[in-house]
Amino acid sequence: MLFKNKIINNNFLYYFYKKIKIFKSKKTKEHLGEFGEDIFISRFFKNKLKGNYVDIGCYHPIKGSLTYKLFKKGWTGLNIDLSKVSIDLFKLSRPNDINIQAAITDFDGETFYYENGFINQQNSLNENSNLKKIPIKAFKLSTILKENNLKKIDFLNIDVEGFDFKVLSTLNLIEIKPSLICIEENNYNTQKILETSTHKHLTNNGYFLASKFGVSLIYIDQSYENKINEIMSL
């Protein structure tokens, strides 16, 4: 309640708080993901009532969220974004989650991000002299998981505007092996996707490319390969 009161007393954040309240009051459409990938994810985990997610580049707790339906089932997780406003929204709507403002990349330390709006999916670590440059703490994915005592992940989502492989590369997939990974690859050519560092890294670590939704690639642990026919038949 104290946090909510702080939000309400801040005119800027209260605007977004009201937006969430309005959004929640409406009937949820079939899919929230930009390309409908959350439908696939929900079907994959349909029989798993309790689980956890890690969402890197989480942006918004409802709009465009690939974890919202899992959250509504009772899942909890770790949500990370460059934007303070995004994380404040997660703290308000998902208080039982771990919500952190930080940059996730391939080193620990400090860096800068370039703000393309207070809450914007295009906020990025990519240098852009036309945008506001903001200092931020940086962590490897492996570091942030260890600091928060996360030893198991059911669903990992990575959407960080071109830094996706750098994030993924720091995760030891032998020690922590998510059942399903959704990662962005800005390439619509299937053959070229198969030649990317992301694809080679994941297939070498026991994953297969199960589906593609726009620029979102879904990789599944090979031990769940028999689930694909079940999902497609729904």
For the chain, which residues make up each domain, given as ranges? 27-101+141-232
Report pLDDT for 29. 52
Q: What is the distance between the alpha carbons of residues 26 and 37, in angstroms, rounded to a whole number? A: 21
Report pLDDT for 229. 72
pTM as predicted: 0.83
As its CATH architecture, domain 27-101+141-232 has 3-Layer(aba) Sandwich (3.40)
pLDDT value at 71 more than 90: yes
pLDDT (tens digit per residue) in 13-62:
544 544 444 344 344 456 566 668 999 999 999 999 999 999 999 999 99
Q: What is the DSSP letter of 79?
A: E
- Pick from 225, 231, 216, 139: nearest CA to 181: 216
Q: What is the distance between the alpha carbons of residues 118 and 130, in angstroms, rounded to a whole number? A: 15
Report pLDDT for 233. 63
Range in 150-154, 159-163, 164-168 with the lowest mean pLDDT: 159-163
Radius of gyration of the chain (CA): 17
pLDDT (tens digit per residue) in 93-149:
999 999 999 999 999 999 988 876 655 444 556 676 678 788 999 999 999 999 999
Looking at mean pLDDT, say which of 18-27, 172-181, 187-196 comes out highest: 172-181
Residues in the chain: 234
pLDDT value at 5 more than 90: no
